[in-house]
């Protein structure tokens, strides 16, 4: 289920920039296809498409489960083609990996498009909070490795769940690291997923860079601190182009059969709702889930079109908050357990409406 053969975090030195690619103006909403003709797809993209096709075919033929494409983790923006330095985006992958587990538990098959080495469903409970060797001990009688008694019960439950998902071929894991890999892969997967019809859900929890350096402007080698690269007062000045906003393309063409949900992250609570409403109006998808960096593990807000549909979607957009109670926090509930049942209901309505 894991695409262990695909690696995204090590740049491919053979794929040095093609200087014959002309420079291009910043893509606007109308010409965002430019991005895909003027930037280079990852070398492994055909492999991804073939894995996704096999996965969809398997579920069409055998289970006809609902399928969720979940994006998770942050994208990077390389500053050099042979990347030593890059700009990163905040996101541990908690939202995506937790949501994946819950959707899998609720009968979905999941395509998990994640930042390589960020949190994964199931292993997330162990991978980032303790040295993994501390979960184990050596049995001094036969020198076999065992799980420490303290961790046995928790690990047993999670291992059972994981094996069930693995045996039923319900989880396909695809990595990305750079924003370019993310965009090409998202386009390929969402287009392929559209053939699955309304039983597909796109759940965009990844934190995607808003700015990037187009391939035509990317230095091939490590930026040197020589005078050539620096301003007269010794500053390194980097020009970043805006990343075209592709959500509209997913909604309108790439995956117009799918229910589409995006997340909106802000740090200023005074602008969160308005930004979520704006996104809903601009992209015309099904739901925006707003969250604040500071409280994202305890509360989220759903901003959706009002049932009283009109052209002024932003004015009519509905808000619904989901919050963990103190008791739930004490008992280690995760906010995704509280709001995902509503997402599943929304998706079921979407499926019923289109059938």
Q: Please, what is the minimum distance in Å from the beta carbon of residue 22 to ligand PAZ?
A: 30
| Residue keyed to tokens 């055998």 | 62
CB of 115 to ligand PAZ, least distance (A): 9
> Is 152 within 8 Å of 49 (Cβ atoms)?
no
Q: Which residue lies nearer to ligand PAZ by CB, 73 or 214? A: 73
First-to-last C-alpha distance (Å) of the chain: 30
Angle CA 128–132–137, to nearest 5: 155
Q: How far is the CB of 278 from ligand PAZ (least distance, A)?
A: 12
Nearer to ligand PAZ, 118 or 192 (CB): 118
Q: Are 38 and 24 in contact (CB under 8 A)?
A: yes
CA atoms within 13 A on the CB side of 251: 18
Please give the backbone phi and psi of residue 77, each rounded to the nearest 5 degrees, phi first. Answer: -120, 105
Query: What is the smallest separation between the CB atom of 120 and ligand PAZ, expressed in angstroms?
Result: 12
| Nearest residue (CB) to ligand PAZ, 56 versus 247 | 247
Compare residues 42 and 74 and give the one whose CB is closer to ligand PAZ: 74
As measured in angstroms, the least distance from the Cβ of 118 to ligand PAZ is 7
Q: What is the smallest separation between the CB atom of 88 and ligand PAZ, expressed in angstroms?
A: 12
Instruction: Tell me the C-alpha distance between 79 and 85, whole Å.
Output: 6
d(CA 83, CA 88): 12
Q: How far is CA 264 from CA 17, 47, 206, 242, 289, in A?
A: 33, 31, 10, 17, 6
- Least CB distance to ligand PAZ at residue 140 (A): 40
Nearer to ligand PAZ, 39 or 94 (CB): 94
Nearest Cα to 284, choosing from 252, 253, 316? 252
Tokens of 307: 């049932």
Toward ligand PAZ, which CB reaches closer, 29 or 210? 210
- Helices (H), ranges, 207-292: 247-249, 269-283
Backbone dihedral angles phi then psi of residue 145, each to the nearest 5 degrees = -90, 135
Nearer to ligand PAZ among residue 56 and residue 288 (C-beta): 288
Query: Residues in the site for ligand PAZ, rule: CB under 6 A?
Result: 91-95, 205, 207-208, 263-265, 291, 296
């Amino acid at each position: 289920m894991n695409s262990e053969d695909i690696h995204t975090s090590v740049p491919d030195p053979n794929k040095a920039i093609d200087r014959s690619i002309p420079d291009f103006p910043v893509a606007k909403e109308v010409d965002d296809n430019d991005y895909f003709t003027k930037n280079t797809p990852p070398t492994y993209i055909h492999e991804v498409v073939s894995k996704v096709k096999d996965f969809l075919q398997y579920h069409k033929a055998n289970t006809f489960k609902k399928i969720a494409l979940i994006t998770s983790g942050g994208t990077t923006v390389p500053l050099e083609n042979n990347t030593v330095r890059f700009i990163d985006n905040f996101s541990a992958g908690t939202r995506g990996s937790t949501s994946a587990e819950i959707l899998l538990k609720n009968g979905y098959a999941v395509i998990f498009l994640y930042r390589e080495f960020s949190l994964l469903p199931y292993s997330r409970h162990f991978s980032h909070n303790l040295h993994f060797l501390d979960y184990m001990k050596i049995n001094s009688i036969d020198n076999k490795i065992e799980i420490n008694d303290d961790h046995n019960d928790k690990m047993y439950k999670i291992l059972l769940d994981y094996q069930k998902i693995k045996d039923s071929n319900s989880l396909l894991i695809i990595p990305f690291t750079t924003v370019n890999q993310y965009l090409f892969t998202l386009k390929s997967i969402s287009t392929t997923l559209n053939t699955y019809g309304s039983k597909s859900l796109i759940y965009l929890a990844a934190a995607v860079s808003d700015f990037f350096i187009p391939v035509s402007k990317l230095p091939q080698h490590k930026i040197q601190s020589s005078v050539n690269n620096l301003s007269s007062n010794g500053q390194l000045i980097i020009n970043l182009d805006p990343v075209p906003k592709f959500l509209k393309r997913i909604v309108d063409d790439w995956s117009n059969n799918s229910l589409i949900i995006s997340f909106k992250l802000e740090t200023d609570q005074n602008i969160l709702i308005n930004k979520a409403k704006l996104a809903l109006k601009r992209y015309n998808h099904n739901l925006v889930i707003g969250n604040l960096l500071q409280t994202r593990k305890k509360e989220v807000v759903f901003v959706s079109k009002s049932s009283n549909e009109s052209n002024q979607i932003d004015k009519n957009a509905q808000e619904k908050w989901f919050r963990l109670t103190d008791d739930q926090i004490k008992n280690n509930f995760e906010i995704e357990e509280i709001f995902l049942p509503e997402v599943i209901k929304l998706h079921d309505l979407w499926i019923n409406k289109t059938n």
